Amino acid sequence: MSDPYPHPIIAREGWPFLAIAVVVATLLTWLGYAILAVLAWLVVAFIAQFFRDPARAIPRDPKAVLCPADGRVVKVETTRDPYLERDALKISVFMNVFNVHSNRSPVDGAVVDRWYHAGSFLNAALDKASLENERNALHLRTADGQDVTCVQVAGLIARRILCYVDAGAALARGQRYGFIRFGSRVDVYLSPSARPRVAVGDKVAAASTILAEFA
């Protein structure tokens, strides 16, 4: 299935940053400040790549749990889901500044609840970032009763978590629901019976990589 999100190449969150950077770079170029202009255009290129938002092919297997973010898998373990107070399979994905930072729903489901926690800004690759950093968590429930907790975690550089849905919203798998500005992490908690399809170190892509399968 193709991605239903209309893709203008650059995510809407990046338009103000890109516009300002282009104006500054153009002005420096027009004034003849060659070295500064080159640096400014490099900043434009960085902003454009950071806020890129490509369309993705979305697997339709109803048992598949899709990756909510681009990046690298840093944790696959059985642990405690601190939001639903249950044993869970936890899979964590770390996003560096060169990854796409749009966040996508891992399943078709309803948003049962949403929690926001203020916190620190530790390196998001560290395990303790899951519980100490600023974070936004969604409790999703599928039509057949599977509970999924999807947590956006701010990082050392990331200082802004954006989430566009709240309790009562319906999300389709692969649907864009949020964005984290600059390096960060996403944690997914599933039933312990779910079978992981990724391993630590794997590179993954939002909406198209299958993280796990429901039993």
Residues labelled catalytic: 184
Q: Collect all residues with Cβ–Cβ distance below 8 Å to 170 and sequence separation of at least 6.
A: 109, 110, 111
- Render the burial of 174-202: b for 16+ CB within 10 Å, e for the rest: bbbbbbbbbbbbbbbbbbeebebbbeeeb
Please give the Cα distance from 4 to 56 (Å, whole number).
9
SS3 106: coil
Q: Which of 155, 149, 150, 140 is nearest to 185 (CA)?
A: 155
For residues 174 and 104, the answer to whether their CB atoms sit within 8 Å is yes
Helices (H) and strands (E) in the chain, counts: 3, 14
Please give the Cα distance from 172 to 50 (Å, whole number).
24
For residues 85 and 190, the answer to whether their CB atoms sit within 8 Å is no
Give Cα 106 distance to the centre of its chain. 10
